[in-house]
Amino acid sequence: MYAIIRSGGKQFRAEKGLTLRLPLMEAEAGSKVTFDEVLLTSDGETVKAGTPLVKGAKVTGEVVGDGKGPKIYVWKFKRRKGYRRKTGHRQGFTDVRITGVKVG
């Protein structure tokens, strides 16, 4: 049994017991979260696709923690002008363990 959910503008496949690395959310470690934006569900035999969401479907999870991804360097350079800039960015994430998938 699995579901395709939308979180932070991206889509993820959620199964019970799986830990997902989602874009940063405002949630404390150990708190419960519910995802109502379910795009597709499957119980192993039948597949329900939403238009755009599946009615009555819900995915629940528990926040494990959050952190930052690896550093990505961004270079700006203009030739013959002496202009160089180097900046870095680390994208935040939240780890969520899926505790239940309810098919609508």
Which distant-in-sequence residues (6+ apart) come within 8 Å of 91 by Cβ?
A: 23, 24, 68, 69, 72
Q: pTM to 2 decimals?
A: 0.86
pLDDT at 20: 97
pLDDT at 104: 74
Residue with tokens 């998938």: 101
- Locate 55 and state its tokens: 């009615």
Q: Which residues pair with 47 in a beta bridge?
A: 42
**For 1-32, what is each residue's pLDDT tens digit?**
999 999 999 999 999 999 999 999 999 999 99
Detail the DSSP E strand segments found in the chain. 2-7, 10-15, 19-23, 32-35, 38-42, 47-49, 58-68, 72-78, 83-89, 92-102
The rounded distance, in Å, linking the Cα atoms of 38 and 81 is 51
**For 61-102, what is each residue's pLDDT tens digit?**
999 999 999 999 999 999 999 999 999 999 999 999 999 999
